Amino acid sequence: MELDQFEAEAVAFLDRHATVKTDRRTAWGEGSDRVGLFEEKTREQELAELATAQAWRRQVFDAGFGWISGPAVYGGRGLSAEHERRWQAVQARYRVPSGTVFAIGLGMVAPTIVAHGTESAKQRYLRGLYRGDVVGCQLFSEPGAGSDLASLQTKAERDGDVWVINGQKVWTSGAQFSDIGEILCRTDPAVPKHKGITGFLVDMRAPGVEVRPLRQMTGGATFNEVFFTDVEVPDDHRLGDVNAGWGVALTTLMSERAAIGGGAASGASFGVGQLIELARHLGRQGDPLLRQQLADLWINIHVARITNLRAMEKLQAGQIPGPELSTAKLALTNNLQLISQFLSSALGARLIADSGEWGTYAWAELVLGVPGFRVAGGTDEVLRNIIGERVLGLPKEPRAVPS
C-alpha cells in the first residue's frame, strides 16, 4: 500500500474514533501540580486504565493498525517500517488512551518471542499481545541477582515435556495484571553461570505463582516480587535452546534499554519549559547558576533525543544499532539527575517541606523516583562497563578472585 493511501486510511480511522489534540496550556497555579516519573495508582485505577487501554488496542488492531510491520501469519499487516512510523506520527496528533500497560509486553516480550519463541508460542501469543488481549511482564531480576543477572538462582527442572519452576523474582513491573511473563531460570548449575540459563514463557495465573506488591518511597506500589512454587511450564513455552538463555536475555535487554532510553523520559515527559516557569515563579530566572544548569540540561536532552532517533532508525530499518543503545539509557538517568540537581538548587527547603505552595513540594515525587531509573534496565555502573568494554574497547574490569 502506498504511504499516502495508508496515511489517509489512518486519518479516517482516527477521525472517527478519537479527537485531535489541542493546545491546552494552563497558567502557573492552575490544575494539578503533580509531577512524577511513576504513575502511582490504586488497584481500582489500574484496572480501569487497563480496561480502557485494552478496548482501544483491540479497536486499533482490528482496523489494521495494531501490528503494521508484523508478519501476516502471526496477525501483523505485513507492511513496512515506514508505514509503522507514519502511523505513529499520525496517531501522535490525536488524544487516545495511554498504552503504558502494554509497554513491556510489546517493547520487550513480543520481540523476544519473535526472535526465540517456538512456532506454537508465536501462534498462541503474538496476536494477543499486539491486540491487547494478553499483557506481558519481564521476570529477570532476583534479590541476589540484579546487576549481575547471570547469578540468578530461580530453578527450572525438566520433567518430561514439562519444566517445574521454583524461585523468586523482584522489581517486576505490571506483574499484578499480566497474563504471561518472560522468565530466566537456571537449568544447569554445573556449568559457568552464563551458560546454564534458559528462558521460558510462564502463565502468570498458573498454580504456584504468587505476586506481592512492593511499596516504594514515592508512595506507590507499581513494582512487585513474584514467587514460584512448583510452577509447571510446557516445553513449547521455552525460548531458544536449553542453556542458551543468555542470548535470549540480551535480546530482551537491548529492547528494554531502547524502550526506556528512547522513550519520552529521555528528555523527561515534561519539558525544560516547566523548569523555566518554576524559576520565574521563584523570581530566579536571572540567576546565572540556574540559567547555566538549564542550558546544560537542554543541550543534554537534545543530544539524547538525536542519538535515540538514530538508533530507532536503524532498528526500524532492520539494522543492529551500534553504541547508540548502549548510551541511551545512561543518557536518560544522567538527564534525570541533572533535573534533580536543578530542582534542589532552585527550590531548596521547598523541595522537602510542604508549605502548601503550588508547584514546589510536588517535585519531591519526581526526585524520589530518579534512583529507580538508575537501577531499572541495567544500573549506571553496569552500563558504563558495557560502554567502556564493548564500545570503547577498554580492558575488562578485573574480576574478584574467589578466596
Label the pairing between strands 162-170 and 223-234. antiparallel
pLDDT in tens, 250-261: 888 776 655 655
Q: Do domains 37-131 and 262-391 have the same CATH topology?
A: no
Cα 248 to chain center, whole Å?
17
Note the pLDDT of residue 398.
80
Cα 127 to chain center, whole Å?
20
256 as an active site residue: the answer is: yes
In whole angstroms, give the CA distance from residue 342 to residue 218.
Answer: 19
Fold of domain 136-243:
Butyryl-CoA Dehydrogenase, subunit A; domain 2 (2.40.110)
In whole angstroms, give the CA distance from residue 155 to residue 166.
Answer: 5
What is the H or E stretch that residue 10 is in?
helix 3-17
In whole angstroms, give the CA distance from residue 18 to residue 353.
Answer: 41
pLDDT in tens, 321-336: 666 666 888 888 999 9
Share above pLDDT 70 across residues of the chain, in percent, rounded to a whole number = 91
Q: Is the pTM of this model over 0.85?
A: no
pLDDT of residue 101 exceeding 90, the answer is yes
The domains of the chain are located at 37-131, 136-243, 262-391
With 0-12 / 13-18 / 19 or more C-beta atoms within 10 angstroms meaning exposed / middle / buried, residue 304 is buried
Q: Are 330 and 380 in contact (CB under 8 A)?
A: yes
142: which DSSP letter?
B
Q: Based on C-alpha coordinates, what's the Rg of the chain?
A: 22
Say which residue, 126 or 37, is predicted with more confidence.
Answer: 126
> Which residues of 109-149 form beta strands (DSSP E)?
136-139
> Which residues of 93-192 form beta strands (DSSP E)?
94-95, 136-139, 155-159, 162-170, 180-186
Domain 37-131 sits in CATH 1.10.540: yes
In whole angstroms, give the CA distance from residue 195 to residue 240.
Answer: 13
Residue 304 corresponds to which cell in the numbers above?
539524547
Note the pLDDT of residue 264.
44
Residue 255 corresponds to which cell in the numbers above?
529492547
Rounded mean pLDDT of the chain?
89
At residue 400 the predicted structure's pLDDT band, cuts being 50, 70 and 90, is low
At residue 318 the predicted structure's pLDDT band, cuts being 50, 70 and 90, is low
Per-residue 3-state assignment (H helix, E strand, C coil) for 331-343: HHHHHHHHHHHHH
In whole angstroms, give the CA distance from residue 198 to residue 40.
Answer: 33
> Which residues of 100-154 form beta strands (DSSP E)?
136-139
Note the pLDDT of residue 260.
58
Residue 330 corresponds to which cell in the numbers above?
545512561
Helix, strand, or coil (residue 170): strand
Helix, strand, or coil (residue 198): strand
Catalytic residue (one of 84, 142, 225, 256): 256
pLDDT in tens, 345-380: 999 999 999 999 999 999 998 999 888 888 877 788
Fold of domain 262-391:
Butyryl-CoA Dehydrogenase, subunit A; domain 3 (1.20.140)
